[in-house]
Amino acid sequence: MSLNFSKDKICVVIGASHAGVNFAFSLRKEGWEGRIILFDKDPVLPYHRPPLSKAYLTSADAIDKNLLKSAEAYDKSGIELSLGVTINTIDRVAKHVVLSDGRLQTYDTLVLATGARPIIPPIKGLREASNVFTLRTANDVERIRKAMSTSVHKKVVIIGGGYIGLETAASLKKLGASVTVLEREERILARVTAPEMSDFFEKLHASNGVEVLTNKNVVSIAKQANFNQVMCADTTSYEADIIIVGVGVHVNVALAEQVGLDIANGIKVNEAAKAATDIYAIGDCTSHYNPHYDRFIRLESVQNAVDQAKIAAAAICDKKPVYNSIPWFWSDQYDIKLQMVGLSTGYTKALLRKEEGTQIKFSIWYFKNDELLAVDAVNNAKAYVLGTKFIKNKTKIDQLKLVDPFSEFKPAALMIK
């Protein structure tokens, strides 16, 4: 019998969110009989993060409506959850971690699932301004909801026009706010989508009464008696009683750095999520090798956190799993559902496929020469499913037929034989 199935073994997981929690349950499922201890600095029972900027923000729900697993589920699987505890140090030689209260916890296998944290940009006056929030935790949502309920003018400025900024804009608009999004680049979502998609989302927000302004580099904030004056490099300024900062994340790699793991835009891991002897890393904090794109990538997505969690659990239990997923992601804004599959980085051509009918329904297909790299599908699950299949199988597609709305939207009709 493998040593990993011994009851005496201890697996310690740092970070109890999508990656850490899924890992713990997968490890049990794979047959690990030893202790599994999950640590997280967040004192709240682990919850789903995607709804934080979407339905959860606009609801009055308590966090227990949004949990990854019930408290009983951890008990039932013999998973020890230690919340409100920060791990500050790892000793790789002694094989223990040091808890914030000074206690030591030994491990046989260590899993880093430390994720990422919001960037606080160096904007003059940001720290002194009132009602400034990032959005990563349940507590952030509680504070934003509270500020919204007590704000008289509900004037919100969102710094950053990425997915989190835009979803938050749509949600706060729904709660009755007057919202302005300030984006530094010349278009929103510039890093992740084609200009056509940026244009679509700019118009979508405008038609819902949200002001989206680009080329707006926020340089300082002046706190006034009842509001903040948000000032941009082009000398324009915007009043806000609530400011949301959504300009990206820093990866939590300090612990990994401390113990000399290889770091390059995240903790470097192999296809089995292994970072070093007896140490694995999973989720947003990793840079992992993706065989399909033949390069190391770092993803911020639930799917990747769950996939890597399963891979690491299987590997620890002596299976030979290999990470070979095509990344996918989604975003909900107003009544629009965007589903994205693949990675469009390096695309040379973006083709638009529109469907007939009254409902907004289209997709953008990203190619590098003949190779399909990624698909962004708006209210179009079929395009998302087809795109996934084509990318996975490296199918060559008839691009003329693809953009013809009268050609059949089926594999047989689109594939080049």
- Where do contacts with ligand FAD occur on this chain (CB under 6 A)? 14-15, 17-20, 39-42, 49-50, 52-53, 86-87, 113-116, 135-136, 164, 252, 255, 283-284, 300-303, 305, 329-331
Q: How far is the CB of 100 from ligand FAD (least distance, A)?
A: 8
CB-nearer residue toward ligand FAD: 302 or 351 = 302
Tokens of 104: 């030591």
The pair phi, psi for residue 90, each rounded to 5°, is -120, 135
CB-nearer residue toward ligand FAD: 200 or 227 = 200
Q: How far is the CB of 17 from ligand FAD (least distance, A)?
A: 3
Cβ atoms of 289 and 266 within 8 Å: the answer is no
Q: How far is the CB of 306 from ligand FAD (least distance, A)?
A: 9
| Concatenated DSSP letters of 81-119 | EEES--EEEEETTTTEEEETTS-EEE-SEEEE---EEE-
CB-nearer residue toward ligand FAD: 6 or 86 = 86
CB-nearer residue toward ligand FAD: 204 or 231 = 204
Contacts by 345-349, CB closer than 8 A, 24 or more apart: 345/373, 346/373, 347/194, 347/373, 347/374
CB-nearer residue toward ligand FAD: 282 or 414 = 282
Give residue 326's identity as a one-letter amino acid code: I
Tokens of 243: 């400011």
Q: How far is the CB of 39 from ligand FAD (least distance, A)?
A: 5
CB-nearer residue toward ligand FAD: 87 or 351 = 87
- DSSP E strands in 137-278: the ranges are 155-159, 178-182, 211-213, 218-223, 228-232, 237-240, 242-245, 249-251, 267-269, 274-276
CB-nearer residue toward ligand FAD: 227 or 342 = 342
Tokens of 27: 């490890």
The percent helix, strand, coil of the chain (3-state, each to 5) is 30, 30, 40
User: CA-CA distance, 408 to 259, in Å (whole number)?
Assistant: 55
Q: How far is the CB of 213 from ligand FAD (least distance, A)?
A: 22
Q: How far is the CB of 229 from ligand FAD (least distance, A)?
A: 27
Tokens of 394: 């490296």
User: CA-CA distance, 330 to 208, in Å (whole number)?
Assistant: 20
Q: How far is the CB of 403 from ligand FAD (least distance, A)?
A: 28
